[in-house]
Amino acid sequence: MAIKKILYLAAAILLSLPVVSCRSTSCNTHTYRPYHERRNRGGAPNDDISSTTDSHTPVPGGYGLVDEKWAALDVKLGRHDNKKLYKELKSWLGTPYAHAGQDKGTGTDCSGMVMMVYQEVYGIKLNRNSAKMLEQNCRVIDLDDLKEGDLVFFCTSSDGRVSHVGIYLKENKFVHASSSRGVIVDDLRQNYYATHFHSAGRVTTRK
């Protein structure tokens, strides 16, 4: 009988304890969600790529909290970052794709957006073609040497020619004009972009 009383007492104590869940703690107070959870994963990322990106999922990791002001760019800015560059790129986000276009808010292709951003932020006139940007306006750099404002180039055909360009931000993020999604932020670590990556370039053209 004594054992039964002890068991009943223990059960009563356990039932009286409050249920604690992670939902009620600070571990879920941040509203920020990593880009790979928020992005529209359908459609082609650039001019020459068919709609096969659904099978190429981003590689998680390295995502930090984002300053609310710059949340659309999915990066956290420091005091030494080029705010003019980030502000200009943010103003292009959502611009629809338009072949041979270069108009913010109206329509642009990848090289058109890059050319206009460089002209506005740095006062530098780049070639209108992504392959020529690499050949004539840039020097090739290592991935480990990428800094904000550098260009990232991609190819989609077996001949290895450059067919797409974007502007690197930081934390593996870059901005580019997708033929299906318009101007958007993506991550170089995504399997798709890692597979089709051609090279990185630092602009050497001056005014």
Query: What is the rounded CA–CA span in Å between residue 175 and residue 69?
Result: 17
Structure tokens given for 44: 């082609």
User: Catalytic site residue 110?
Assistant: yes
**Considering only CA atoms, which of 162, 163, 126 is closest in space to residue 47?**
163
User: Catalytic site residue 56?
Assistant: no
User: Catalytic site residue 99?
Assistant: no
Q: Residue 195, class by beta-carbon neighbours within 10 Å (0-12 exposed, 13-18 middle, 19+ buried)?
A: exposed
Question: Of the listed 36, 176, 196, 198, which one is catalytic?
Answer: 176
**How far from the centroid of its chain's Cα atoms is residue 168's Cα?**
9
Question: Of the listed 110, 138, 155, 198, which one is catalytic?
Answer: 110
Query: What is the rounded CA–CA span in Å between residue 11 and residue 25?
Result: 26
Question: Of the listed 36, 164, 196, 198, which one is catalytic?
Answer: 164
Active site residues: 110, 164, 176
